[in-house]
Amino acid sequence: MFNRRTILTSGTALALALTLAGGAMAQEEALKIGVPTSRTGPYTILGDQVVRAVEFAVEEANANGGIAGHPVEMMVGDTEGTPDAGRRAAEKLALSGYRILTGPISSAVGLALASQLDRWDAVYVSVVNKSPKLTGDSCHPRMFRANHSDGMDLAIVRPWLSEQAEADWSIIGADYVWGRGSAEAFKEVATELGKNIKVEVFPPLGTTDFAPYITQLRDSGAEGIWVALSGADAINFAKQAKQFGLTDQVTMFGHNFVVDQILETIGEDGIGIWGNVNYTATIDTPENKAFVEAWTAKYGAPPSNYEGETYAGMQAIFGAVEQSGSVAPSDIAAAFPGISVDTVFGEVTMRAEDHQLLLPNYLGRAVATDDGPVIEVVKAYGPDVAVPAPDPACKL
Protein backbone atom coordinates (compact mmCIF):
# COMPACT_ATOMS: atom_id res chain seq x y z
CA MET A 1 0.00 0.00 0.00
CA PHE A 2 1.11 3.58 -0.61
CA ASN A 3 2.09 5.74 2.32
CA ARG A 4 2.55 8.84 0.26
CA ARG A 5 1.87 10.11 -3.26
CA THR A 6 3.63 13.31 -4.23
CA ILE A 7 3.06 15.51 -7.26
CA LEU A 8 5.58 18.26 -7.93
CA THR A 9 5.11 20.92 -10.58
CA SER A 10 7.81 23.24 -11.95
CA GLY A 11 6.95 25.48 -14.93
CA THR A 12 5.59 23.17 -17.60
CA ALA A 13 7.22 20.07 -16.10
CA LEU A 14 5.25 17.71 -13.90
CA ALA A 15 6.99 15.34 -11.52
CA LEU A 16 5.05 12.46 -10.09
CA ALA A 17 6.68 10.08 -7.61
CA LEU A 18 5.03 7.13 -5.96
CA THR A 19 7.00 5.93 -2.91
CA LEU A 20 6.62 3.20 -0.36
CA ALA A 21 7.76 3.14 3.27
CA GLY A 22 8.39 -0.02 5.23
CA GLY A 23 8.45 -3.63 4.06
CA ALA A 24 10.88 -5.46 1.82
CA MET A 25 10.01 -3.51 -1.35
CA ALA A 26 11.09 -0.19 0.21
CA GLN A 27 14.56 -1.63 0.71
CA GLU A 28 15.00 -2.42 -2.98
CA GLU A 29 16.33 0.16 -5.42
CA ALA A 30 13.47 1.88 -7.25
CA LEU A 31 12.75 1.45 -10.94
CA LYS A 32 12.62 5.08 -12.07
CA ILE A 33 10.63 5.85 -15.22
CA GLY A 34 11.22 9.22 -16.91
CA VAL A 35 8.35 10.45 -19.09
CA PRO A 36 9.41 13.30 -21.42
CA THR A 37 6.19 13.99 -23.31
CA SER A 38 3.96 16.78 -24.61
CA ARG A 39 2.54 18.85 -21.76
CA THR A 40 2.12 21.92 -23.99
CA GLY A 41 1.74 22.38 -27.75
CA PRO A 42 -0.41 20.62 -30.39
CA TYR A 43 0.08 17.14 -28.91
CA THR A 44 -0.88 17.96 -25.32
CA ILE A 45 -3.99 15.78 -25.49
CA LEU A 46 -1.82 12.81 -26.47
CA GLY A 47 0.74 13.59 -23.79
CA ASP A 48 -2.05 13.59 -21.22
CA GLN A 49 -3.00 10.07 -22.25
CA VAL A 50 0.58 8.82 -22.13
CA VAL A 51 1.02 10.23 -18.61
CA ARG A 52 -2.25 8.69 -17.47
CA ALA A 53 -1.29 5.25 -18.81
CA VAL A 54 2.19 5.31 -17.26
CA GLU A 55 0.72 6.47 -13.95
CA PHE A 56 -1.84 3.66 -14.09
CA ALA A 57 0.85 1.05 -14.76
CA VAL A 58 3.06 2.40 -11.96
CA GLU A 59 0.25 2.42 -9.41
CA GLU A 60 -0.82 -1.08 -10.43
CA ALA A 61 2.74 -2.41 -10.19
CA ASN A 62 3.29 -0.94 -6.73
CA ALA A 63 -0.05 -2.24 -5.49
CA ASN A 64 1.14 -5.70 -6.51
CA GLY A 65 4.49 -5.44 -4.68
CA GLY A 66 6.55 -3.70 -7.36
CA ILE A 67 8.46 -5.22 -10.28
CA ALA A 68 10.76 -8.04 -9.17
CA GLY A 69 10.48 -6.48 -5.72
CA HIS A 70 11.47 -3.00 -6.91
CA PRO A 71 9.12 -0.09 -6.20
CA VAL A 72 8.35 1.97 -9.29
CA GLU A 73 8.53 5.76 -9.50
CA MET A 74 7.86 8.15 -12.38
CA MET A 75 8.68 11.73 -13.23
CA VAL A 76 7.30 13.74 -16.14
CA GLY A 77 8.89 16.52 -18.21
CA ASP A 78 7.58 18.71 -21.03
CA THR A 79 9.03 18.15 -24.52
CA GLU A 80 6.84 20.95 -25.94
CA GLY A 81 6.67 18.73 -29.02
CA THR A 82 10.09 19.86 -30.30
CA PRO A 83 13.44 18.01 -30.50
CA ASP A 84 15.45 20.67 -28.62
CA ALA A 85 12.98 20.98 -25.75
CA GLY A 86 12.54 17.21 -25.74
CA ARG A 87 16.27 16.62 -25.43
CA ARG A 88 16.47 19.08 -22.54
CA ALA A 89 13.52 17.50 -20.75
CA ALA A 90 14.89 13.99 -21.18
CA GLU A 91 18.36 15.03 -20.01
CA LYS A 92 16.93 16.62 -16.88
CA LEU A 93 15.02 13.43 -16.12
CA ALA A 94 18.03 11.20 -16.76
CA LEU A 95 20.34 13.32 -14.64
CA SER A 96 17.73 13.16 -11.87
CA GLY A 97 17.98 9.36 -11.94
CA TYR A 98 14.94 8.65 -14.14
CA ARG A 99 16.90 6.88 -16.86
CA ILE A 100 14.27 4.54 -18.29
CA LEU A 101 12.70 7.01 -20.71
CA THR A 102 9.38 6.70 -22.51
CA GLY A 103 6.51 8.86 -23.77
CA PRO A 104 7.60 11.38 -26.46
CA ILE A 105 4.81 11.92 -28.99
CA SER A 106 6.84 13.33 -31.89
CA SER A 107 9.17 10.93 -33.69
CA ALA A 108 11.58 13.83 -34.10
CA VAL A 109 11.81 14.06 -30.31
CA GLY A 110 12.37 10.33 -29.98
CA LEU A 111 15.16 10.43 -32.55
CA ALA A 112 16.74 13.37 -30.74
CA LEU A 113 17.14 11.20 -27.64
CA ALA A 114 18.95 8.32 -29.37
CA SER A 115 22.31 10.04 -29.73
CA GLN A 116 22.35 10.94 -26.03
CA LEU A 117 21.44 7.59 -24.47
CA ASP A 118 25.00 6.42 -23.91
CA ARG A 119 26.02 9.76 -22.41
CA TRP A 120 23.02 9.70 -20.06
CA ASP A 121 23.38 5.95 -19.32
CA ALA A 122 19.70 5.70 -20.25
CA VAL A 123 17.26 3.50 -22.18
CA TYR A 124 14.50 4.82 -24.44
CA VAL A 125 11.34 2.78 -25.11
CA SER A 126 9.00 4.33 -27.68
CA VAL A 127 5.28 3.91 -27.09
CA VAL A 128 4.07 6.41 -29.73
CA ASN A 129 6.84 7.21 -32.28
CA LYS A 130 6.11 5.73 -35.70
CA SER A 131 9.03 6.88 -37.85
CA PRO A 132 10.81 3.90 -39.48
CA LYS A 133 14.11 5.57 -38.64
CA LEU A 134 13.85 4.47 -34.98
CA THR A 135 14.23 0.85 -36.04
CA GLY A 136 16.05 1.70 -39.27
CA ASP A 137 19.11 3.80 -39.97
CA SER A 138 18.86 5.58 -36.59
CA CYS A 139 18.46 2.47 -34.44
CA HIS A 140 20.47 2.28 -31.23
CA PRO A 141 21.36 -0.56 -28.83
CA ARG A 142 19.52 1.27 -26.05
CA MET A 143 16.42 2.28 -28.05
CA PHE A 144 13.37 0.04 -28.41
CA ARG A 145 9.94 0.46 -30.00
CA ALA A 146 6.95 -1.08 -28.20
CA ASN A 147 4.33 0.47 -30.50
CA HIS A 148 3.39 0.14 -34.17
CA SER A 149 5.66 1.69 -36.80
CA ASP A 150 4.69 3.34 -40.08
CA GLY A 151 5.87 0.20 -41.85
CA MET A 152 3.52 -1.94 -39.78
CA ASP A 153 0.60 0.34 -40.58
CA LEU A 154 1.43 0.34 -44.29
CA ALA A 155 1.70 -3.44 -44.27
CA ILE A 156 -2.03 -3.70 -43.52
CA VAL A 157 -2.96 -0.72 -45.72
CA ARG A 158 -1.52 -2.41 -48.81
CA PRO A 159 -4.15 -5.18 -49.07
CA TRP A 160 -6.92 -2.66 -48.33
CA LEU A 161 -5.69 -0.16 -50.92
CA SER A 162 -5.30 -2.86 -53.55
CA GLU A 163 -9.06 -3.50 -53.30
CA GLN A 164 -10.08 0.17 -53.60
CA ALA A 165 -11.38 1.37 -56.98
CA GLU A 166 -10.04 4.92 -56.50
CA ALA A 167 -7.07 5.51 -58.80
CA ASP A 168 -6.18 9.12 -57.93
CA TRP A 169 -5.04 10.01 -54.40
CA SER A 170 -3.71 13.08 -52.64
CA ILE A 171 -1.86 13.41 -49.35
CA ILE A 172 -1.93 15.75 -46.37
CA GLY A 173 0.73 15.21 -43.72
CA ALA A 174 2.14 17.09 -40.74
CA ASP A 175 5.31 18.97 -41.68
CA TYR A 176 7.80 17.00 -39.61
CA VAL A 177 9.55 13.64 -39.70
CA TRP A 178 6.51 11.45 -38.98
CA GLY A 179 4.06 13.22 -41.30
CA ARG A 180 6.49 13.33 -44.20
CA GLY A 181 7.64 9.76 -43.56
CA SER A 182 4.05 8.54 -43.56
CA ALA A 183 3.34 10.42 -46.79
CA GLU A 184 6.42 8.96 -48.49
CA ALA A 185 5.56 5.44 -47.36
CA PHE A 186 1.98 5.71 -48.61
CA LYS A 187 3.17 7.20 -51.91
CA GLU A 188 5.51 4.26 -52.43
CA VAL A 189 2.79 1.68 -51.75
CA ALA A 190 0.18 3.52 -53.83
CA THR A 191 2.54 3.87 -56.78
CA GLU A 192 3.43 0.19 -56.66
CA LEU A 193 -0.29 -0.60 -56.82
CA GLY A 194 -0.75 1.60 -59.88
CA LYS A 195 -2.38 4.54 -58.08
CA ASN A 196 -1.65 8.18 -58.97
CA ILE A 197 -0.59 10.82 -56.44
CA LYS A 198 -2.06 14.17 -57.47
CA VAL A 199 -1.09 16.60 -54.68
CA GLU A 200 0.96 16.47 -51.45
CA VAL A 201 0.52 19.22 -48.82
CA PHE A 202 2.32 19.58 -45.49
CA PRO A 203 0.79 22.13 -43.07
CA PRO A 204 3.03 23.12 -40.14
CA LEU A 205 2.33 21.83 -36.64
CA GLY A 206 -0.32 23.88 -34.85
CA THR A 207 -2.20 24.89 -38.01
CA THR A 208 -5.71 26.05 -37.18
CA ASP A 209 -6.95 27.13 -40.63
CA PHE A 210 -6.83 24.18 -43.03
CA ALA A 211 -8.97 25.89 -45.70
CA PRO A 212 -6.06 26.51 -48.15
CA TYR A 213 -4.93 22.89 -47.88
CA ILE A 214 -8.45 21.47 -48.18
CA THR A 215 -8.98 23.59 -51.28
CA GLN A 216 -5.82 22.15 -52.86
CA LEU A 217 -6.89 18.61 -52.02
CA ARG A 218 -10.40 19.15 -53.39
CA ASP A 219 -9.19 20.87 -56.55
CA SER A 220 -6.66 18.10 -57.22
CA GLY A 221 -9.48 15.85 -58.40
CA ALA A 222 -8.30 13.05 -56.12
CA GLU A 223 -10.80 10.34 -55.29
CA GLY A 224 -8.97 9.39 -52.11
CA ILE A 225 -7.06 11.31 -49.43
CA TRP A 226 -4.28 9.95 -47.19
CA VAL A 227 -4.20 11.88 -43.89
CA ALA A 228 -1.15 11.84 -41.59
CA LEU A 229 -2.12 14.32 -38.85
CA SER A 230 -2.40 13.85 -35.09
CA GLY A 231 -3.74 15.58 -32.01
CA ALA A 232 -5.26 19.03 -32.39
CA ASP A 233 -4.16 19.18 -36.04
CA ALA A 234 -6.17 16.04 -36.85
CA ILE A 235 -9.23 17.38 -35.04
CA ASN A 236 -9.14 20.78 -36.77
CA PHE A 237 -8.63 19.19 -40.18
CA ALA A 238 -11.45 16.68 -39.72
CA LYS A 239 -13.96 19.33 -38.69
CA GLN A 240 -13.05 21.66 -41.53
CA ALA A 241 -12.88 18.87 -44.13
CA LYS A 242 -16.47 17.99 -43.25
CA GLN A 243 -17.55 21.64 -43.43
CA PHE A 244 -16.00 21.98 -46.90
CA GLY A 245 -17.67 18.77 -48.06
CA LEU A 246 -14.38 16.99 -48.67
CA THR A 247 -15.09 14.05 -46.36
CA ASP A 248 -18.28 13.23 -48.27
CA GLN A 249 -16.64 13.56 -51.70
CA VAL A 250 -13.65 11.24 -51.31
CA THR A 251 -12.48 8.06 -49.64
CA MET A 252 -10.43 9.22 -46.68
CA PHE A 253 -7.87 7.09 -44.86
CA GLY A 254 -6.27 8.48 -41.73
CA HIS A 255 -2.91 7.21 -40.53
CA ASN A 256 -3.27 6.95 -36.76
CA PHE A 257 -6.30 9.19 -37.26
CA VAL A 258 -9.26 6.92 -36.46
CA VAL A 259 -8.63 6.79 -32.71
CA ASP A 260 -10.95 7.22 -29.76
CA GLN A 261 -9.89 10.66 -28.59
CA ILE A 262 -10.24 12.19 -32.06
CA LEU A 263 -13.60 10.56 -32.76
CA GLU A 264 -14.94 11.68 -29.37
CA THR A 265 -14.14 15.28 -30.32
CA ILE A 266 -15.18 15.37 -33.98
CA GLY A 267 -18.24 13.14 -33.55
CA GLU A 268 -20.28 12.66 -36.72
CA ASP A 269 -17.71 14.62 -38.74
CA GLY A 270 -15.55 11.49 -38.65
CA ILE A 271 -18.11 8.97 -39.90
CA GLY A 272 -16.86 7.05 -42.91
CA ILE A 273 -13.16 7.73 -42.39
CA TRP A 274 -10.97 4.62 -42.61
CA GLY A 275 -7.82 4.07 -40.60
CA ASN A 276 -5.38 1.75 -38.93
CA VAL A 277 -6.47 0.85 -35.41
CA ASN A 278 -3.35 0.03 -33.42
CA TYR A 279 -5.16 -0.67 -30.18
CA THR A 280 -8.80 -1.07 -29.20
CA ALA A 281 -10.44 -1.90 -25.89
CA THR A 282 -12.20 -4.79 -27.66
CA ILE A 283 -8.99 -6.81 -28.25
CA ASP A 284 -9.91 -10.31 -27.12
CA THR A 285 -7.08 -11.38 -24.82
CA PRO A 286 -7.23 -12.14 -21.08
CA GLU A 287 -4.62 -9.47 -20.45
CA ASN A 288 -6.60 -6.79 -22.27
CA LYS A 289 -9.89 -7.74 -20.66
CA ALA A 290 -8.31 -7.38 -17.21
CA PHE A 291 -6.70 -4.07 -18.17
CA VAL A 292 -9.91 -2.60 -19.63
CA GLU A 293 -11.93 -3.67 -16.59
CA ALA A 294 -9.47 -2.08 -14.15
CA TRP A 295 -9.02 1.05 -16.26
CA THR A 296 -12.76 1.57 -16.72
CA ALA A 297 -13.35 1.11 -13.00
CA LYS A 298 -10.82 3.89 -12.32
CA TYR A 299 -11.64 6.37 -15.09
CA GLY A 300 -15.24 5.56 -16.02
CA ALA A 301 -14.44 4.91 -19.69
CA PRO A 302 -12.38 2.40 -21.68
CA PRO A 303 -8.72 3.19 -22.50
CA SER A 304 -7.92 5.03 -25.71
CA ASN A 305 -5.53 3.95 -28.46
CA TYR A 306 -2.54 5.79 -26.95
CA GLU A 307 -3.38 4.66 -23.43
CA GLY A 308 -3.51 1.03 -24.51
CA GLU A 309 -0.26 1.16 -26.45
CA THR A 310 1.52 3.03 -23.67
CA TYR A 311 0.35 0.49 -21.12
CA ALA A 312 1.65 -2.30 -23.37
CA GLY A 313 5.00 -0.49 -23.50
CA MET A 314 5.10 -0.38 -19.72
CA GLN A 315 4.37 -4.11 -19.65
CA ALA A 316 7.36 -4.62 -21.94
CA ILE A 317 9.61 -2.51 -19.69
CA PHE A 318 8.46 -4.42 -16.63
CA GLY A 319 9.13 -7.70 -18.43
CA ALA A 320 12.71 -6.66 -19.20
CA VAL A 321 13.24 -5.68 -15.55
CA GLU A 322 11.92 -9.04 -14.38
CA GLN A 323 14.12 -10.82 -16.94
CA SER A 324 17.25 -8.96 -15.88
CA GLY A 325 16.47 -8.81 -12.17
CA SER A 326 17.89 -5.28 -12.25
CA VAL A 327 16.79 -1.67 -12.63
CA ALA A 328 20.13 -0.60 -14.19
CA PRO A 329 19.57 0.75 -17.73
CA SER A 330 22.43 -1.34 -19.14
CA ASP A 331 20.94 -4.55 -17.73
CA ILE A 332 17.45 -3.69 -18.97
CA ALA A 333 18.82 -2.94 -22.44
CA ALA A 334 20.65 -6.28 -22.47
CA ALA A 335 17.50 -8.17 -21.45
CA PHE A 336 15.19 -6.63 -24.05
CA PRO A 337 16.38 -8.17 -27.38
CA GLY A 338 14.50 -11.40 -28.05
CA ILE A 339 12.41 -11.24 -24.86
CA SER A 340 8.79 -12.45 -24.95
CA VAL A 341 6.35 -10.68 -22.63
CA ASP A 342 2.64 -10.88 -21.86
CA THR A 343 0.86 -7.69 -22.91
CA VAL A 344 -2.66 -6.52 -23.73
CA PHE A 345 -1.96 -7.87 -27.24
CA GLY A 346 -1.11 -11.30 -25.84
CA GLU A 347 2.43 -12.69 -25.74
CA VAL A 348 4.70 -10.66 -28.01
CA THR A 349 8.44 -10.66 -28.74
CA MET A 350 10.97 -7.84 -28.97
CA ARG A 351 12.80 -8.58 -32.23
CA ALA A 352 16.54 -8.63 -31.60
CA GLU A 353 17.53 -7.46 -35.09
CA ASP A 354 15.97 -3.98 -34.85
CA HIS A 355 14.33 -3.74 -31.39
CA GLN A 356 10.76 -3.71 -32.75
CA LEU A 357 8.04 -5.33 -30.64
CA LEU A 358 6.20 -7.78 -32.90
CA LEU A 359 2.56 -6.75 -32.57
CA PRO A 360 -0.71 -7.59 -34.33
CA ASN A 361 -2.46 -4.73 -36.10
CA TYR A 362 -6.02 -3.80 -37.04
CA LEU A 363 -7.96 -2.00 -39.79
CA GLY A 364 -11.23 -0.17 -39.21
CA ARG A 365 -13.43 2.85 -39.82
CA ALA A 366 -15.70 5.24 -37.98
CA VAL A 367 -19.36 4.24 -38.20
CA ALA A 368 -22.63 5.63 -36.86
CA THR A 369 -24.55 3.84 -34.11
CA ASP A 370 -27.51 4.72 -31.91
CA ASP A 371 -25.00 5.61 -29.19
CA GLY A 372 -22.94 7.83 -31.50
CA PRO A 373 -19.91 7.25 -33.73
CA VAL A 374 -17.69 4.27 -32.87
CA ILE A 375 -14.65 2.61 -34.40
CA GLU A 376 -15.56 -0.61 -36.17
CA VAL A 377 -12.63 -3.02 -36.50
CA VAL A 378 -13.00 -4.61 -39.92
CA LYS A 379 -10.00 -6.93 -39.92
CA ALA A 380 -7.17 -8.09 -37.65
CA TYR A 381 -3.70 -9.05 -38.87
CA GLY A 382 -1.15 -11.11 -36.98
CA PRO A 383 2.53 -10.11 -36.69
CA ASP A 384 3.38 -12.45 -39.59
CA VAL A 385 1.48 -10.06 -41.89
CA ALA A 386 1.59 -6.81 -39.93
CA VAL A 387 5.34 -6.58 -39.26
CA PRO A 388 7.74 -6.02 -42.18
CA ALA A 389 11.18 -7.62 -42.18
CA PRO A 390 13.95 -5.77 -40.32
CA ASP A 391 15.46 -2.81 -42.13
CA PRO A 392 19.01 -3.77 -43.19
CA ALA A 393 20.00 -0.14 -42.47
CA CYS A 394 19.70 -0.95 -38.75
CA LYS A 395 23.15 -1.90 -37.46
CA LEU A 396 23.03 -2.82 -33.78
Residue type, 239: K
Rounded to an integer, what distance in angstroms lies between the CA atom of residue 230 and that of residue 17? Answer: 29
Pick the closest to residue 186 from 175, 173, 177, 176 (CA basis): 173
> Per residue in 75-120, pLDDT tens?
999 999 999 999 999 999 999 999 999 999 999 999 999 999 999 9
> Per residue in 231-282, pLDDT tens?
889 999 999 999 999 999 999 999 988 887 788 889 999 999 999 999 989 8
Burial class of 128 by CB neighbour count within 10 A (0 to 12, 13 to 18, 19+)? buried
Indicate if the pLDDT at residue 42 is higher than 90. no
> Per residue in 282-311, pLDDT tens?
899 999 999 999 999 999 999 999 999 999
Alpha helices in 300-351 (DSSP H): 305-324, 329-335
> Per residue in 168-201, pLDDT tens?
999 999 998 889 989 999 999 999 999 999 999 9
Rounded to an integer, what distance in angstroms lies between the CA atom of residue 193 and that of residue 186? Answer: 11
Rounded to an integer, what distance in angstroms lies between the CA atom of residue 260 and that of residue 281? Answer: 10
Indicate if the pLDDT at residue 371 is higher than 90. no
Pick the closest to residue 59 from 67, 319, 376, 176 (CA basis): 67
Strands 168-173 and 196-201 turn out to be parallel
How big is the CA angle at 276 (ends 272 and 280), to the nearest 5 degrees? 95
User: What is the residue-wise DSSP string for 295-308?
Assistant: HHHHHSS---HHHH
Indicate if the pLDDT at residue 3 is higher than 80. no
